[in-house]
Amino acid sequence: MKAFKVRRNGQDYFRVDLPKDLFPDGKRRSVMATTRREAIQKAQDLLDKRKKGLKTEEAKATLADFLGRFLEFYKTEGGVVLRTWQDYRYHIDENVIPGIGAIPLGDLKPREVDLWMKSLRERGLGNRTVEYAQAVLRRALQFAVEWEILDRNPAAARFRAAKRKRAATAGAQRIRFLDPNEARKFLDVVGGDRHEALYTLAITTGLRPEEMYGLRWKDLNLDARRLTVNQVLSKTRRRKGEKVDRFLFGPPKTEKSRRTIDFPKFVCDILRAERHRLLESRALAGTKWQENGLVFPSEVGTPSEERNVLRRFQTICEANDLPKLRIYDLRHTHASLLIHEGVHPKKISERLGHSSIKLTMDTYGHLFEGSDRDSAEKMEKLLAPQKTRNRSARPESPPALQVVPKKAS
């Protein structure tokens, strides 16, 4: 491969001409660089890509253009629900394109991805938001690799770095919940509240908010004190003027999320009272009522706005000197109460609908730390030699020696 010295606009360059048969249109193409070695290397890289079948012309398009095509394809062929697709679109529009959208797809390097993620953190975005935005970019660029536009995914290495950082900071991001005394106090003060049944069911079953808002009366068996998670409710991310339903009902996200849960008898009594209250609400709403069969609808039968429930929930907590939590933290409260009562982690995992017991232990494992001393004491009682146990039963320090003064001779 030869590099020819050329002069352009008073500047010397080195040019390498590429074989015409590598390009469908048969046109001559060349690459230029300021040094001979760089020109030859660029030409070799381009030839390697062409031999692999990579579409170098498409790689010249900006990242923003490619992401637009990706979203259009992913909406129907990605195998995701509308809410997930809208989350992808949101992060692409709000976080990816403003930062690196103008970079040609083929010029995007891991360094640019690193600097982009750094800029998101400097904007004040949390680690989880930055990681999600990066995961969206990584998924989109993986399509570019599979479509033979790129030979590697420049965002893939950032995924590993994000996982390491998340593992290192996991201890600093511990969950928040009500302890047993606080939970009892909370249930006492919400007695008779508009959302008493929702709060109580959340604490005693660990349902996710979207599972509670999607729960229907036909999913409940009050006589058996049992419910089944068959449906969730999600709120869509609509663009202004976009004609898409504000709320969407759909199946649980994973197979493990589709589960049956028993609940206490006192919760059954509260749910029966809630059903009676809903009958009164439906009568008052008249023709405005929209029947969806939901256990926790709005006053006219439509899906509840979580922000309204959250506002009331936090007002109650603040007025009664309880921690300011999210509705989701009632799920954490349920898990912590089960751990407090010694329920096996496998059963906790099943009730919460976790994909694996590993997820349960990664999330709540630190709450088991208090039981370690009890474990050690049980090993002492079970296995320690008899002499050791006898010694441990004696006083920790021997009695002080009695010094008897000598008699005068």
Please name the amino acid found at residue 393.
A
Distances in Å between the Cα of 10 and the Cα atoms of 4, 7, 37, 118 are 16, 6, 21, 39
- Does the structure show a pLDDT above 70 at 164? no
User: pLDDT at position 167, please?
Assistant: 47
Are β-strands 4-8 and 232-235 bridged in parallel, bridged antiparallel, or unpaired? unpaired
Instruction: Give domain status of residue 375, yes or no.
Output: no
- Which run of H or of E encompasses 232? strand 232-235
* Higher pLDDT pick, 79 / 223: 223
Instruction: Give domain status of residue 386, yes or no.
Output: no
**11 and 133: one domain?**
no
**Percent of the chain residues past pLDDT 70, beyond the cut:** 82
Q: Cβ neighbours of residue 351 under 8 Å, at least 6 residues apart?
A: 205, 206, 259, 261, 334, 338
* Angle, helix 82-91 to helix 127-146, in steps of 10 degrees: 100
Among 77-86, 165-174, 280-289, where is mean pLDDT lowest?
165-174
**262 and 336: one domain?**
yes
Instruction: Give domain status of residue 394, yes or no.
Output: no
Specify which of 22-36, 334-348, 368-382 reaches the highest per-range mean pLDDT. 334-348
Please, which pLDDT band fits residue 168 given cuts at 50, 70 and 90? very low
Half-sphere exposure of 275 (CA within 13 A, CB side): 14
Q: What global pTM score does this model have?
A: 0.68
Asked if residue 173 lies in contact with residue 328, where contact means CB atoms within 8 angstroms, the answer is: no
Looking at residue 31, what DSSP letter applies?
E
Tokens of residue 252, six digits: 């649980």
Per-residue exposure over 98-133, b if at least 16 CB sit within 10 Å of its own CB, e if not: ebbbebebbebeeebbeebbeebeeeebeeeebbbb
Instruction: Read off the pLDDT of each residue in 112-117 and give the average, rounded to a whole number.
Output: 94
Please state, as a whole number, how many other Cβ atoms lie within 10 Å of the Cβ of residue 213. 26
**213 and 289: one domain?**
yes
Instruction: Give domain status of residue 103, yes or no.
Output: yes
Instruction: Give domain status of residue 383, yes or no.
Output: no
Task: Round to whole Å and give the CA distance between 313 and 323.
Answer: 11
Q: Identify the three-state secondary structure at position 207.
A: coil
CATH number where 362 lies: 1.10.443.10
Number of domains in the chain: 3
**139 and 217: one domain?**
no
**83 and 195: one domain?**
no
Runs of H (alpha helix) within 255-328: 265-285, 306-319
- Does the structure show a pLDDT above 80 at 340? yes
User: pLDDT at position 300, please?
Assistant: 94
**214 and 320: one domain?**
yes
pLDDT tens across 271-303, in order? 999 999 999 999 999 999 999 999 999 999 999
Q: Of the residues 369, 385, 403, which one is the last residue of a structural domain?
A: 369
Instruction: Read off the pLDDT of each residue in 356-381 and give the average, rounded to a whole number.
Output: 77
Instruction: Give domain status of residue 78, yes or no.
Output: yes
Which structural domain, as residue segments, surrounds residue 48? 4-53
Looking at residue 95, what DSSP letter applies?
I
Closest CA to 113 of 88, 143, 133, 93: 133
**337 and 257: one domain?**
yes
User: pLDDT at position 175, please?
Assistant: 84
Kindly provide the residue ranges of all beta strands, DSSP E only, lying in 19-84, ordered along the sequence. Answer: 29-33
**349 and 202: one domain?**
yes
Please, which pLDDT band fits residue 170 given cuts at 50, 70 and 90? very low
Task: Round to whole Å and give the CA distance between 362 and 167.
Answer: 10
pLDDT tens across 200-257, in order? 999 999 999 999 999 999 999 999 999 999 999 988 777 666 666 678 888 887 889 9
Q: Identify the three-state secondary structure at position 229.
A: coil
Tokens of residue 350, six digits: 């099943």
- Name the average pLDDT for the chain: 85
Task: Round to whole Å and give the CA distance between 362 and 173.
Answer: 12
**208 and 141: one domain?**
no
Q: Cβ neighbours of residue 143 under 8 Å, at least 6 residues apart?
A: 70, 73, 74
**159 and 290: one domain?**
no
Please, which pLDDT band fits residue 375 given cuts at 50, 70 and 90? low
CATH number where 120 lies: 1.10.150.130
Task: Round to whole Å and give the CA distance between 144 and 60.
Answer: 12
Instruction: Give domain status of residue 80, yes or no.
Output: yes
Instruction: Give domain status of residue 380, yes or no.
Output: no
Tokens of residue 290, six digits: 């929209």
Instruction: Read off the pLDDT of each residue in 186-201 and give the average, rounded to a whole number.
Output: 95
